[in-house]
Amino acid sequence: MNRSTFAVTLHYGALTFLALLCVAPIAVMFATSFKLQTQIFNTGLNFLFTPTLENYRDVLGENNFDRYLVNSLVVGIVSTVITLVLGAMSAYALVRFRFAGRKTLAYTTLLLRTVPLAVLAVPVFMIWNQAGIAGSLSGLVLLYVAVNLPFTIWLLYGFILQVPIELEEAAAIDGCGPLRTFFTVVLPLIKPGIAAASIFTFRIAWNEFILALVLTDRGTRTLPVAASLYITDIGVDWGKIMALGSLIAIPPLIFTLVAAKQIITGLTAGAVKG
């Protein structure tokens, strides 16, 4: 019992340490956002200081914050919805349709996601420029769909594979066509997978910087690109960058919490039905 208690204590102690290690940068960012530039360099990591909202007032009132927020929301939501629809349909086709090389294709789609995004910046810009969509939100949405689609297909492939074919056969007997069966039978059963894929897809589209920097202009910048505007020739305004970073972190956090509830609900429902 003593050895078991020690092992449990060590296990949870390690998990607590890792959790604090992950939370520490967020806490520093949030605390720094309430400091003036002089306080940042004078106090360092000291959390005992007089907080100020000046950085947030400047960020919300300067540099077209509302426009950049709308751009980020449009890019994040639209690319996520398109990726989920195409990814679910593609994964369903790979599971249910019989053709040569389908399993190889299903398991190798993830390899496309291993390509570093920075490598794609210049060639994609050249192609998008020729197509006339460089500097537009539609071009950025299209790219994020292409970047996130392989992982979404690979993730949902495993979930759809667990759906009993008998349920679809029963729906077909009741008169449901392939599309109706897919949307009314299959999709509700893979909600946890859709929630997990949506978290991954939205966070990439919301937080990505390199491609957004290359493929946007003054009117289509997203919030991560807007943060780079505070890096100037005369210095870096860390207070405003941290304030904007704190604001940028809020929507993905809310989205993750909402989607995580769907994952837990789906897993719990599956356990009860089982």
User: 175: helix, coil or strand?
Assistant: coil
Residue 272, both tokens:
């009860």
Would you state the pLDDT for residue 48? 76
Confidence tier at 196 by pLDDT (50, 70, 90): confident
Taking the C-alpha atoms of residue 195 and residue 200, their distance in angstroms, rounded to an integer, is 9
Confidence tier at 225 by pLDDT (50, 70, 90): very high
| pLDDT tens digits for range 14-47 | 999 999 998 888 888 998 899 888 888 776 667 7
Report residue 235: phi and psi, to 5°: 145, -175
Angle at 166 between CA 160 and CA 168, to 5 degrees: 65
At 113, the amino acid letter reads R
Would you state the pLDDT for residue 76? 93
Report residue 88: phi and psi, to 5°: -65, -45
User: Which run of H or of E encompasses 240?
Assistant: helix 238-273
Q: What is the pTM of this model?
A: 0.84
Strand partners, 235: 232
Residue 253, both tokens:
């956090």
Residue the block writes with tokens 């972190």:
249
Residue the block writes with tokens 């078991």:
4
Residue 255, both tokens:
């989205």
What mean pLDDT is predicted for residues 228-244?
A: 88
Cα dihedral 5, 7, 12, 17 sign: positive
Would you state the pLDDT for residue 270? 45
Residue 167, both tokens:
């349920």
Taking the C-alpha atoms of residue 197 and residue 260, their distance in angstroms, rounded to an integer, is 11
Q: Which of 81, 99, 112, 72 is nearest to 206 (CA)?
A: 72
Taking the C-alpha atoms of residue 165 and residue 188, their distance in angstroms, rounded to an integer, is 14
Taking the C-alpha atoms of residue 145 and residue 125, their distance in angstroms, rounded to an integer, is 16
Taking the C-alpha atoms of residue 175 and residue 200, their distance in angstroms, rounded to an integer, is 35
User: Bigger pLDDT: 105 or 144?
Assistant: 144
Residue 169, both tokens:
């056969």
In the chain, the percentage of residues whose pLDDT exceeds 70 is 92
Report residue 176: phi and psi, to 5°: -80, 135
Q: Is the pLDDT of residue 265 over 70?
A: no
Report residue 236: phi and psi, to 5°: -110, 125
Confidence tier at 206 by pLDDT (50, 70, 90): very high
| pLDDT tens digits for range 116-150 | 888 888 999 999 999 989 889 999 999 999 999 98
| DSSP 8-class letter at 49 | S
Q: Which domains does the chain have, with CATH numbers?
A: 58-273 (1.10.3720.10)
Q: Which of 222, 176, 201 is nearest to 71 (CA)?
A: 222
